[in-house]
Structure 1
Amino acid sequence: MIKRRLNELDLLRFLAAIAVVFFHYAFRGYAKGDMSAMPYPLLAEPAKYGYLGVELFFMISGFVILMTASNNNLKKFFISRAIRLYPAFWACCTLTFVITLFIGQPRFTADFYQYIVNMTLLSEFVGVAPIDGVYWSLFVEIKFYLMISILLGFKKIEKIETCLVFWLLISATAEVLGFEKLRSILITDYACYFIAGATFYIIWTKGFTKTRVLLLAGSLALACYTAVVWAELIETKYATEYNPLIVCSLIVLFYMTFYLIAMNKTGVIGQMNWTTIGAITYPLYLLHQMIGFMIFNVAYPGINSHLLLWGTIALMIEASYLIHKKVEVPVSGFVKRLLSASFNRVRS
């Protein structure tokens, strides 16, 4: 059965990205004192919860990646992920690198070798520091893609529900008992969000079953547990306090939102076209952090902090739009044609 396009996911992507932007600009950069010279106390308290935007990204990814993989074709899945990840990343990484060379010092530095390795999107796997700290979440995503690729390689994507159950059980065990190797391989810190997103996709296409309800309940319990543990760990790092009730309430809100999407109950929001803001989300996420901090460090306190914050956000949104239109769209088309031709040559 052909399903409608889920416009709501584009809006969710943008909201997740903006939450992370405010977390970095209004709280994180100054809170630890090692990235941004500009405080923004007016929004610091709510903004400190904005890091959960990444967890929302992972839920969206669980939903969308399973949708992409549902045709059970590894080649198409690989091409779709390559054109989604690389073109915008190349542009944003290059821009961040160049700006770091010009205005980053003394707080931020980068070298050409680091840049070249970063451009492969494999820097974490070979022990090279990222040009921008936000890249860490891409490595989590890539691990998830590899898991799905294994299922596609063995033509077992229809077994995904069983795999999600085992992934959840193993993740919960590894988290509680502290099996570090297993935690790293199976990304158990964030597995619950991918599992939830994937389960909501299955519900959207096939409806509820007892297993799917248990998957959602179990993943929600694990999500709240890991989120509270993480919040306790970063309280010292950022010299602040996190309210576990707020943390868990935000996660429950994510689940409620996906429930409405899966049940097609988003009303007018789901009928509106959010394509443009959804399209700029990825470059905005990649671009904003280090460049924004460098702008703050150069311009503050010479420029009013309100003008600097909101002006920089506007600049990042405009730059993200230009990267999407002028780089991501044309380069993605070229890369898709190149990869498709390469696969066809290998097959023939």
Structure 2
Amino acid sequence: MQSRVNEIDLLRFIAALAVVFFHYAFRGHAADHLSNLPYPLLAPLAKYGYLGVELFFMISGFVILMTASNANVKSFVISRISRLYPAFWIACTLTFAVTVYLGAPRFKASFSEYLGNMTMLGEFFGINALDGSYWSLFIELRFYLLIFLLLVLKKIHHAETFLIVWLVISFVLEIKPVAALETLFITDYAAFFIAGATCFLIWAESLSLKKFLMLLSAWALSEYEVLSSLPSLEKHYQTTFNRFTIIGIVSSFFLILLLIAQRWTGLLARKRWLVLGALTYPLYLIHQNIGYILFDQLYPGVNPHLLFWGTLGVMLGLAYSIYVVLEKPLANKLHQFLTQILKVNARDQNNNSLNSVN
């Protein structure tokens, strides 16, 4: 099976930029008072950038099922740990250092919070996140748990059936909520993971009526979820969101993933976007609070346009440097160490390495 889907790397980067613009041009100043820098030029558009996280969840559905379909339990665990933790440890350490030395009075962090965050399970233990972007990682981990259970039960090749059951459960829980089950099945975001995973099945096999209906149902549920959340978002951010714009953005996610799954993306599929895909994860992890702190330190002394775009450029450069200089070597060493400890055989290791950047 083809080891990479090139367009996914580009899509990842677009999703990350959407989130960065949401934080820098809208949320930081216009909404949550996390930054002194106003940027009204982009705020009306940037406020929709929060949906980049939903796109990330769709991409995860695609690539994690791709990874798991060629893995066993041990190799899947190794791939997830070596993929997620090195960049996260680096980002946590950098964010903690910047917060301690430059963040006060708006941003504060204790050493115990730093240690708790380094586990990536801080939310589970009620520990404050060092950066506001970390919340989505806990959602991702819950999705990984579901895929892990499929592998443990040796049902990964029955993923289609699992996705249908998950989709039905998500619809039922919307009608009759059960808190514990909503947490387990990630009902607020399940439709996005299911849609991405369904698109992988279309990509790996072919489009069938059943898969099309699964995707259509996931689309309906996803639109319901994002529209249902709007009243609370509008109240929190003291603004309005255009419902048709939201519907259009989410629909475009589904259309793009379907085009990729059908291998209809032409030139985009033939180009390698590996660098963009590689810097996406560290960019997502480091941009928010460090960016806000830079804004607070330098504005209004620095021109707002220069500061805004300069900070974005610095974050992109820093993310790339983290990937090349630190994350990639550390991830390789961690992967080798875990492989030796868990005694994964060579064939499984090779299959898993095909998707190690996913």
TM-score (normalizing by structure 2): 0.94
1:35/1:107 contact within 8 Å kept: yes
Q: Residue 50 in 1 paired to residue 75 in 2? A: no
The structural deviation recorded for 1:281 is 0.1
2:75/2:344 contact within 8 Å kept: no
Q: Residue 320 in 1 paired to residue 319 in 2? A: yes
Structure 2: unaligned runs, 5 residues or longer: 346-358
Q: Alpha-carbon deviations, 1:235-292, whole Å to 9, x = none?
A: 0100100011111111110111011101111111111121101100000000000000
1:232/1:242 contact within 8 Å kept: no
Moved beyond 6 Å, runs of 4+ = none
The residue aligned with 2:108 is 109
How far apart are the structure 2 equivalents of 1:101 and 1:134? 18
How far apart are the structure 2 equivalents of 1:99 and 1:53? 26
How far apart are the structure 2 equivalents of 1:72 and 1:213? 26
Q: Alpha-carbon deviations, 1:86-123, whole Å to 9, x = none?
A: 00001111000000001111111000000001001110
How far apart are the structure 1 equivalents of 2:278 and 2:116? 26
Q: Which moved more, 1:176-185 or 1:311-320?
A: 176-185
SS in 1 for 2:37: coil
The residue aligned with 2:132 is 133
What letter corresponds to residue 204 of structure 1 in structure 2?
A: W
Q: What is the CA RMSD across the aligned residues, in angstroms? A: 1.3
What letter corresponds to residue 220 of structure 1 in structure 2?
A: W
SS in 1 for 2:123: helix
How far apart are the structure 1 equivalents of 2:10 and 2:257? 12
How far apart are the structure 1 equivalents of 2:329 and 2:58? 28
Query: Are residues 236 and 69 of structure 1, via their aligned partners in 2, closer, same or farther at CA, if it must alter by over 3 Å?
Result: same
Q: Residue 217 in 1 paired to residue 216 in 2? A: yes
Query: Are residues 100 and 4 of structure 1, via their aligned partners in 2, closer, same or farther at CA, if it must alter by over 3 Å?
Result: closer
SS in 1 for 2:53: helix
The structural deviation recorded for 1:3 is 2.7
How far apart are the structure 2 equivalents of 1:309 and 1:229? 32
What letter corresponds to residue 180 of structure 1 in structure 2?
A: A
The structural deviation recorded for 1:33 is 4.0
Structure 1: unaligned runs, 5 residues or longer: none
How far apart are the structure 2 equivalents of 1:190 and 1:31? 26
1:175/1:189 contact within 8 Å kept: no
How far apart are the structure 2 equivalents of 1:345 and 1:11? 31
The residue aligned with 1:172 is 171
The residue aligned with 1:257 is 256
How far apart are the structure 1 equivalents of 2:94 and 2:84? 16
The residue aligned with 1:79 is 78
TM-score (normalizing by structure 1): 0.97
How far apart are the structure 2 equivalents of 1:124 and 1:149? 20
How far apart are the structure 2 equivalents of 1:40 and 1:345? 51
Question: Percent identity of the aligned residues?
Answer: 50
Q: Alpha-carbon deviations, 1:8-58, whole Å to 9, x = none?
A: 000000000000000000000112243111110000000000000000000
| Number of residue-to-residue matches in the alignment | 345
The structural deviation recorded for 1:126 is 1.0
What letter corresponds to residue 106 of structure 2 in structure 1?
A: R
How far apart are the structure 2 equivalents of 1:319 and 1:235? 33
The residue aligned with 2:290 is 291
The structural deviation recorded for 1:72 is 4.2
The residue aligned with 1:160 is 159
The residue aligned with 1:226 is 225
The residue aligned with 2:350 is none
How far apart are the structure 2 equivalents of 1:271 and 1:345? 33
Q: Alpha-carbon deviations, 1:116-139, whole Å to 9, x = none?
A: 010011101111111111000000
How far apart are the structure 2 equivalents of 1:208 and 1:195? 15
How far apart are the structure 2 equivalents of 1:222 and 1:245? 16
How far apart are the structure 2 equivalents of 1:106 and 1:4? 47
